[in-house]
Amino acid sequence: MRRNAADDIQKAVELLGLPSMVTKEEVKRRYRSLARRYHPDRPEGDARKMAQLAEAYGILMDYIENFRYSFDDAELARQFPDRGHTEKFSI
């Protein structure tokens, strides 16, 4: 059975407890926080949970690194509704 990348990404977001809109730095911070908590070398550590977190983090970082950016007006307005980017750069 072939895995669905969108489902994998959604599951990774849920496992890491991330909101739907997040920066790369926020993903890293959340992963590091959870990794410190669940690392198997810690008394309350959990090797299985740590492996799941590492896989989820890898999925999200791969998505982030290979994301195809859109610079059209609609996307810019959606990402930055109050900043007026489209007017700022008009020629």
Residue 13: its pLDDT value, please? 97
Q: Which domain holds residue 46?
A: 5-88
Q: What is the reported pTM?
A: 0.75
Residue 1: its pLDDT value, please? 47
pLDDT, the chain, mean: 88
Q: In 3-state terms, what secondary structure has residue 55?
A: helix
Number of domains observed in the structure of the chain: 1
pLDDT tens, position by position, 8-31: 999 999 999 999 889 999 999 999
Q: Decide: 27 and 16 in contact? Cβ < 8 Å.
A: yes
Rg over alpha carbons for the chain, rounded to the nearest Å, is 17
Q: Decide: 38 and 56 in contact? Cβ < 8 Å.
A: no
Provide the CATH number for the domain around residue 47: 1.10.287.110
